[in-house]
A and B are shown apart, each in its own frame.
Chain A
Amino acid sequence: MTAPAPRRGAPTPPGLLAAAGLVARKDLAIEFRSRSAFLSALVLSLLSLVIFYFAWDPTAVAAVDVAPGILWVTFTFSGLLGLHRSFGVEQQERAMDALLVAPISREAIFLGKASANLAFVLGVQLVALPALALFYNLPLTTVLGPLAIVMLLSAIGLTCIGTLFAGITSNTRMAELLLPVLALPFFVPIVLPAAQLTAKLLAGRPLEESLGWLRILLAFDLVFLYACTIAFPFTLED
């Protein structure tokens, strides 16, 4: 791609994806320096894996049957923790205003924030999944490839919805409470197929057998990635 040479003193604003990349880099840099949200999400997911263990009777229910539920409840709640922070950091010193006056489109702000959140959620999953395999003694290595696809598709859907709603609720009086109330119903068409797919994979069935679930996940991602990107500018003040 050859951009027209910018005149001196008047740099051309970056394109949609380039701008989104910059926003994502900024958010990840903030998170990388403090690590507070990532560490809390990580500890929360490890703790919930441990607590579920004590609520489970291994003699009555096999580990492969209980694992999908534990995995997806853990991911959903630890994901919410990080999503809230994504706009929380913009509240200080009204940093959001600076972001809005930057010469980038508002869709780019959304995509950037969503990508940073996606990296966040995938990072948590990257640690929580081996922990699950370890604690529950699951044979994950054989299904790692298909499971990674399921987790990536689910994470995309979760972060799209979560980023948009975090943006909305960060301006309300009870942001921390409102985000789960609004977002959790939207997580159902993600968590349901994801848990089904995980259960099928852990039971040793090939991924080809549950393509229907995979299609629902994919359709949800496409519809809500598009809808949330379009809707985000409407949630901001003019």
Chain B
Amino acid sequence: MAVAVAAMAAALVRAIYFTPAERLQGLAQKIFYVHVPSAWVAFLAFGLTAIAGGVWLFIKDPRLDRFAESSAEVGVIFTTGVLVSGPLWGKPIWGAWWVWDARLTSTLFLWFLFLGYLVLRSAVDEREARARYSAVVGILGALLIPFIHLSVYLFRTQHPTPVVANTAGIQMPGVMVATLFLSLGAFTLLYIALVRQRMALAAERDALLDASTAES
């Protein structure tokens, strides 16, 4: 946790003070170093939630279910971060807080999926059933996101094309790339740290429930 916080601080300081502002977009572009890593972690969290659920269906290890639960909850935070930082940039650059672009829409639906997933979990008391249902919903959600992306992409698209992960190679000055990768690393560390904390909490909750049912 401490390492993650330190890395986050370093990434933010570097993004704010030691990375030049972009010529056309000015200071608004700095949000890039929060927005892109948050998006990366959001999709990573959902992917791992789905995979953990899928593996759980076969080996039924309670730790996998606790991981899926924790990863989904942490993922919601990062998805919210993406959805908040995006409009903050969009307003000065696009002139609109929100547009129905493929990336924006898939992220919004990722958020809906996460929330539905967590609401479902909270609506089932029995541990085994909860893990079963949420695993199935998680896997189907992972299948859904590409479909949403594709259909909205055909519908209309406005998001800037990725400046790092595109076919023409990286199109950004080296100093910005370094800051971006530092941010990506820091956000990933923060994700790992938060999930670990949340998993420990879930394990204690389960142990407490087991103890109280054993007593009665």
Count B interface residues, CB 8 Å. Answer: 30
Q: Which of A168, A216, A220, A237 contacts B137 (CB 8 A)?
A: A168
Q: How far is the CA of A181 from the CA of B116 in the complex (A)?
A: 6
Which of the four size classes fits the interface of chain A? 20 to 34
- Asked if A234 meets B155 with Cβ closer than 8 Å, knowing A172-B123, A173-B123, A224-B143, the reply is no
Contact between chains at A172 and B124 (CB < 8 Å):
yes
Give A167-190 as 1s and 0s: 1 = Cβ < 8 Å from B's Cβ atoms.
011011110001001101110110
Contact between chains at B135 and A234 (CB < 8 Å):
yes
Q: Which residues of A contact B129 (CB under 8 A)?
A: 171, 237
- Asked if A227 meets B143 with Cβ closer than 8 Å, knowing A168-B133, A193-B151, A235-B136, the reply is yes
- Asked if A181 meets B119 with Cβ closer than 8 Å, knowing A164-B136, A186-B140, A235-B133, the reply is yes
- Minimum distance in angstroms from B144 CB to a CB of chain A: 6
- Minimum distance in angstroms from A77 CB to a CB of chain B: 17
Q: How far is the CA of A165 from the CA of B155 in the complex (A)?
A: 27
Q: Which residues of B contact A161 (CB under 8 A)?
A: 140
- Minimum distance in angstroms from B158 CB to a CB of chain A: 16
- Minimum distance in angstroms from B103 CB to a CB of chain A: 14
Residue B113 lies at the interface, judged by CB distance under 8 Å to chain A: yes
Q: Which residues of B contact A237 (CB under 8 A)?
A: 129
Contact between chains at A192 and B116 (CB < 8 Å):
no
Residue A48 lies at the interface, judged by CB distance under 8 Å to chain B: no
Q: Which residues of A contact B196 (CB under 8 A)?
A: none
Q: Which of A172, A212, A231 contacts B139 (CB 8 A)?
A: A231
Give A213-238 as 1s and 0s: 1 = Cβ < 8 Å from B's Cβ atoms.
10010011001100110010011010
Q: Which residues of B contact A173 (CB under 8 A)?
A: 123-125
Q: Which of B113, B133, B152 contacts A185 (CB 8 A)?
A: B113
Q: How far is the CA of A178 from the CA of B115 in the complex (A)?
A: 11
Contact between chains at B140 and A231 (CB < 8 Å):
yes
Chief secondary structure at chain A's binding surface: helix
Tell me which residues from 37 to 75 in chain B have a Cβ below 8 Å from any Cβ of chain A: 57
Residue B13 lies at the interface, judged by CB distance under 8 Å to chain A: no
Residue B170 lies at the interface, judged by CB distance under 8 Å to chain A: no
Contact between chains at A216 and B133 (CB < 8 Å):
no
Q: Which residues of A contact B105 (CB under 8 A)?
A: 188
Q: How far is the CA of A126 from the CA of B119 in the complex (A)?
A: 34
Residue A105 lies at the interface, judged by CB distance under 8 Å to chain B: no
Q: How far is the CA of A174 from the CA of B150 in the complex (A)?
A: 32
Q: How far is the CA of A224 from the CA of B146 in the complex (A)?
A: 13
Give 7 nearest A-B pairs by CB, closest first. A189-B147, A172-B123, A182-B116, A185-B112, A189-B151, A231-B136, A173-B123
Q: A168-B120, A185-B141 are in contact. List 10 more A-B contacts (CB 8 A).
A: A168-B136, A178-B116, A182-B116, A185-B109, A192-B155, A193-B151, A216-B147, A216-B151, A227-B143, A235-B132
Using a CB–CB cutoff of 8 Å, the interface residues on chain A facing chain B are: 161, 164-165, 168-169, 171-174, 178, 181-182, 184-186, 188-189, 192-193, 196, 212-213, 216, 219-220, 223-224, 227-228, 231, 234-235, 237
A-B contacts, 13 of them at CB < 8 A, read A164-B136, A168-B137, A171-B124, A171-B129, A181-B119, A182-B120, A185-B144, A188-B109, A188-B151, A189-B151, A216-B151, A227-B143, A234-B132
